[in-house]
Every structure is written in structure tokens, then in C-alpha cells.
Amino acid sequence: MSPSVESEAHLPWSIIRYLACTILSLAFIIGVPGNTFVIWTICGRMKQRSPTIVMILNLAIADLLVLGTLPIWIYSIAKTWVFGLITCKILTFLIYSSMYASVFLIVALSMERFMAVFYPFAIQRWKKKKATSLGLLLIWLLSIAFGAGGIPFKGVDDEDGIECMVVSYYSNTQLIACLLLETLVGFVVPFAIISICYVCVGRRISKMTCPSKRRSAMLITAVVVAFALCWLPHHTINLISIAAALTEDSHPEGSKALENISEVGSYIAGSIALISSCINPLLYAFAARNFQSSVRFERLSKLFELMIPSVREGGTKEASSTPGQDETLTSSAII
């Protein structure tokens, strides 16, 4: 192959790698300060932390764990992987565990919103510190379990210029099962739950006239849309890989073409998925921009207080509230 032809053959890959590095760099530059600011605001400026705030804190921590590894991935994509097999497995485990934790936390937040809107008093019985701690422990244990499930298949490619996150399955059946499980658990089922919860919440909020609740509804919509846009490409690549495996025997040429699309698209899709780790602080900042305060952490604190889906008047109010009061209290329970 002549130098000119070789350079043309490698041009698409160089563009893809450059684009992936650019996306990851922007995610790191925006996401690390953003999530650090969220963590600092909650830990340093909020004395009382509701279960909602604790889940937002854990979400920021999970996102920060992912973002902290990006310089290594940027270097490996731009150059080559020089950190060894063990480091590769540890970092991929961290990425996948944090990914599942973020998804599960967003699902938990959406279910909490649903309960707060339709069962505002019943949810108070569950919103105890011990129950919250157990729920978060379960989320992290499940995330670690799903994250560890892919470790045996992740490795380093020593043939084509050492590259981490090469996936080696023992059979197509195993590949299909693993990728299908990842897509179902990491996207399809969570997105279905989130969508159903927020559609129901949105309908209830649309009947209210309180501006703060409508602003919160817009934040809800933005979180759901961002989740879908960030993760859809990654799981679409998974489905393409599954299709390639299913058609390997019946349509080998088509299977090879799908495999090539999957290989090329995985760089960009993976980079876009990691944007999800930096998007939430931007959404919080945008939603908090109208609060009357010159200090940013005070605006963010007010936003987080607004996001607490709780009946603000508890105790005896619950037993003595009239139907009109019930509607008012329910309104105050919606983010």
C-alpha cells in the first residue's frame, strides 16, 4: 500500500479518535468542576440533607469517579494503552460500576418523585435515614455486581497497537447474552421506568400554576432527555453488535459490515455516553439561574431545597388536613 493510500485509509480513524478525544476533554473540563461544586455545596452548605439530596450527592460522586479516569482514556485513544492489563480491568470496572450507579440513582429519583406526587404522605414513612442508607447500599452493590460481570471479557489488544477495553467473548451466544443484558438493565428498563414516572408527574404538574413547580418540571424533562440522548448511541452500538453476531453464519458479508460499524461507532458512542457524567451540573446551574442570589452555591442550595419531594408541613398536619390543604401539600411535594 502506498503512503498516500495508507494515509487515506487511516484518515477516518484519525478523525474519529480526534473527535472522541475532544468530546472526552470537554466532558472532563466541564464535569469535574461541576460535580465537585455540587458535592461541595451539599456537604459544606446544606446542614439537613433529605433522601433526595443524598441521592443527588451519590449521583455526583458516581459521575466524578467516571470523569476522574478520562485523562487516561484520552491519552490511550490519542496514543496507545501503556498502563497494563490490570489497570485496564480496574478502570473498566470503575467505569461500568459508576455507569450503573448513575442510571439506578436516576431511576430511584424518578420513582421518589412519582411517590411524592401521588402518595405524598405514604412516602414519609419510608424516608428515614436507615431506609435511605439501605437503598443506597443496594444500588451500589447492584452496580458493583453488574460492573464486575464484564471484567473477565475485558482485555488488552496486543496485536493492533495495544488498546484497552477490547472485549473477547468465548462465543456469539455469550456476546449476545452480555450485551443484551447490559442494554436491558442499563437503558431499556430504566428508561421505561423513568418515562412512565415522569409522564405521570408531568400531567399532575401541568394542572398547577406555581411557577417554581413548572421550572422543576422543565428540569425533570431535561434530565430524562439528556439521559436518553447520551446513552442511546452506546446501546444502539450494542444492538448492532448483536445483529452482527446473529447474522454471522447466514449473511457473513453483512455481519462483517455491521461489525465494522460497531467497531468504529463504539469510540464516538462511548464518548457521548460519558457526557452524561457532566450534564447534570449544567442542568442544575441552568435551572438555578433565576434564583435571587449573587452567590452561586446559594442558588444551587435553593434549587436542591426545591427538589425535595416532601410534605413540608408534617406531624399533626397530616392527620388534620382538609381536602384543600391536601392539594396544597401535594403541590409542595413536587420538585
DSSP assignment string, 310-329: S-SS-THHHHH--HHHHHHH
Domain chopping of the chain, boundaries: 3-332
Contact by Cβ (8 Å): 223, 190: no
pLDDT at 312 over 50: no
pLDDT at residue 67, rounded to an integer: 92
More confident residue, 319 or 245: 245
pLDDT score of 5: 39
What is the per-residue pLDDT across 3-15, written as a single tens digit (0 to 9) for each? 443 344 445 778 8
What is the chain's mean pLDDT, rounded?
Answer: 76
Q: What band does 316 get if pLDDT is binned at 50, 70 and 90?
A: very low
Model confidence at 197: pLDDT above 70: yes
CB 289 within 8 A of CB 68: no
Tally the C-alpha atoms within 13 A of residue 40's C-alpha that lie toward its C-beta: 10
Cα 118 to chain centroid distance, Å, stands at: 26
Residue 279's pLDDT is 84
User: Is residue 167 scored above 80 in pLDDT?
Assistant: no
Give the right CATH number for 3-332 from 1.20.1070.10, 1.10.3760.10, 3.30.70.100, 3.30.110.60: 1.20.1070.10
Q: Closest Cα partner for 68 from 103, 98, 89, 102? A: 98
Threshold 0.85, pTM exceeds = no
- How large is the average pLDDT for residues 292-301? 51
pLDDT number for residue 183:
93
**pLDDT in the model for residue 328:** 36
